[in-house]
A and B are shown apart, each in its own frame.
Chain A
């Protein structure tokens, strides 16, 4: 067969291409992302927050559940860097612990919703027919249920104890994916008509493999954005629930719990509110910036493109 290929192999074609090979997609996206200054700021803030949550407990002289009865409601000082709360716990240790917890919940819940939404959304679009009809009907029903009440009930039933936060994360995951699944299903509608999907089908590739190999990776950019913005949504949901007493249960803590406790002493001990507040704002703000930056970088029609 070698003679065939020499007969029709365009030698020049090879050379011509190597010379003018276009920039790879990944590099192009990275370049566009880096050029976006707000997104870079977001990355820096987020990295600092993660570092703080991971290494904070090691540099803090106090444990978060260690009470210093000698200093109750003390303002920031050399001993307690960010002051103490009413019970004498160190604010820095508490804030670091709360930030870590909130981050964990946010990331895990968002990851979970993205995975569930991706699998459900692509599957109901790929299988078509009655699967799609029943699936869409179910999602529309689920969207209409009062998820907040159910969330609160689950947390009050299972939310106590050391692993209470897992119940909350799980609940956020279970009630968070419907809307995303609906969006991903409509994205898959055009993807499922692509010829490479048909080609795989006609090759005899099993449906589960078509979904994980061809459909989900090609929704990648949307999934990334969804995940990043999902972290913001989950963190806000967690803080909201904790603030109302349905979230993380003491003695464990989170940003929401700290804000709730601090809100009572805004005038007498403002540091108790301002510290967790600042961390929460920094966290959601940085994630939003990153999410926006990713969307602009991945969207070929956006205005963040270069000027020649």
Chain B
């Protein structure tokens, strides 16, 4: 079977949807962050696939490298924030961290 651009796009669309689904349904902050990683990686697959099959030089692949680095930075900050939340609230459940709602 030939693997074409369409296959990659479908995979990335599925990953993106799973990411959004995870963000919406999960209550654990860590799981929400994993959903966000899925969204970023879905975009990465798009970039690389378009660059490889669309005949578009290396731009897409270069962007993917930047995004990987950025996802790492974001995860580092997010985990530090979650750690701090755990110390204050003794939970990482995003529903229970809600002293600011009226």
Chain B binds chain A: no
Question: Interface on B for A, CB 8 Å cutoff?
Answer: none
